[in-house]
Amino acid sequence: MADLFSTALSSTEDFMPLGKIVSSVLPAPNPAINGLVAKLPDICKKCGSHLAIIGPAPVPHRASLHCKECRAFRGWVSDTSFKFVSKVIEQFGRPAEPILILRGKSEPEVER
């Protein structure tokens, strides 16, 4: 019985950790999009800012949004927005001005 147990333990030592398997299968995020400033249609509930920084995100998300002023989490960048912004950066370079992300809304909220 001891031989069976030691064989089972030794065979598991050869497996790759899950993080390495996942990162080797999934496409790498576009580092060019990280750090871009985005203007969101809604305001941060903590500080009232419309601006967010696009950053890295855990799987299954493509990118995160954090408030530029207070660093509060603002949400995730959709796959569609991520692909579009990545393509724009690829063709024209990084934008100097904040990009507008509507997040499923047809029009930005009117500032009061």
d(CA 36, CA 95): 8
- How far the first Cα of the chain sits from its last, in Å, is 75
d(CA 37, CA 53): 5
Q: State the average pLDDT over residues 37-50.
A: 96
> pLDDT tens, 46-100?
999 999 999 999 989 999 999 999 999 999 999 999 999 999 999 999 999 999 9
What's the residue count for the chain?
112
pTM given for the model: 0.66
Query: What local confidence, expressed as pLDDT, does residue 12 receive?
Result: 44
29 CB-near residues (< 8 Å, 6+ apart): 56, 57, 62, 63
108 CB-near residues (< 8 Å, 6+ apart): 39, 41, 100, 102
Phi–psi pair at 9, nearest 5 degrees: -65, -45
Query: What local confidence, expressed as pLDDT, does residue 1 receive?
Result: 46
Query: What local confidence, expressed as pLDDT, does residue 32 receive?
Result: 84
Kindly tell me if the per-residue pLDDT of 17 is higher than 80. Answer: no
Q: Enumerate the domain spans of the chain.
A: 29-100
